[in-house]
Amino acid sequence: MKFLDQAKIYVRSGDGGDGVTAFRREKYIEFGGPDGGNGGRGGDIIFEAVANLNTLIDFRYTQHFRAKKGGNGAGSDRTGAAAPAVVIQVPVGTQIMDDDRETLLADLDKPGKRVTLCTGGDGGFGNANYKTSTNRAPRRSDKGWPGEERWVWLRLKLIADVGLVGLPNAGKSTFLAATSAARPKIADYPFTTLHPQLGVVRLSMTEEFVIADIPGLIEGAHEGTGLGDRFLGHVERCAALLHLIDGAAGDVVDAWRTIRNELEAYGGGLAEKPEVIALNKCDAMTPQQISGRKRALERASGAKVMVISGVSRQGVPELLRDLFTNVQNARAERAAEEAE
């Protein structure tokens, strides 16, 4: 299945049905009076978040969604039928943006969450609605109200607990494959990962969390260099960031600063998220190199640096436990906020 995280679509709710002008005509009833019914309501456009979708690829092939018009009224005070709503199913984590791509209209961040984006038009009044003591035979009936229409952008931000960031070839895909059942593409050249990957890490029967691996960042990514920084949106919802640094590549401090600068340039609160720094590929370094590079990285970042190897799994269990502690803290804070 192809991965698509942005799509532009057109939505239009249904017009209201027309009211009618009608009069009651029956044998032996000389003055039956008006009995034209009202029009039915037009269909709504509703977006719903569902758990079994993880891409917006369906919207590449279907980009126009129109609800039906409400039924017209009829004689004998019969109201027209209301048109059914059009329910558009999207993955959990989808944001609905206005055509300017800046105004947030809705954020569908929970399974089953619904939002009515375009409301159907009201039905027009039939002539029975206008009868009064002085106007006993009105011939006025109204057209239905028009529905709403707009172009919107759908942007998918994956729901994950931990986001993997780092330079290309830092070992992110190898780490994801070693800690979860995900099978991302792994190769010895940059930009092997071209779209985000998710993996579920299970520490025990009751302890698990989701890791999101995004394409590697390089210097100037916020200006469009490489694959750009568009995929950073997928880690905006994460509780913590796992910053993998290739220890065998040489200047680890420069690699750390490059990613930190890109996170700050992107914004979205990424630079303020808890960051766990891991010096990867320790099996390709000597003990002296490991000690020196770890010390330099801790001095530059002011944080604890963990030494791991995604291939041999050295240090990986301790790192996963540290990440899960951050995830638990974020979940507890979220639960406390919802309780208030």
Show binding-site residues for Mg(2+): 173, 193
Q: How far apart are CA 110 and CA 39, in angstroms?
A: 36
Helices (H), the chain: 58-61, 172-179, 252-266, 287-301, 316-339
Structure tokens at 54: 């993880």
Could you list the residues known to form a binding site, using ranges: 166-173, 191-195, 213-216, 280-283, 309-311
**66 and 84 Cβ atoms separated by less than 8 Å:** no
Q: From 179, 218, 170, select the one nearest 198 (Cα to Cα).
A: 179
Residue type, 206: T
CB atoms within 10 A of CB 51: 11
- Number of residues written out for the chain: 340
Could you list the residues known to form a binding site for GTP, using ranges: 166-173, 191-195, 213-216, 280-283, 309-311
Residue 70 region, left (φ>0) first, then alpha (ψ -120 to 50), else beta? Answer: beta
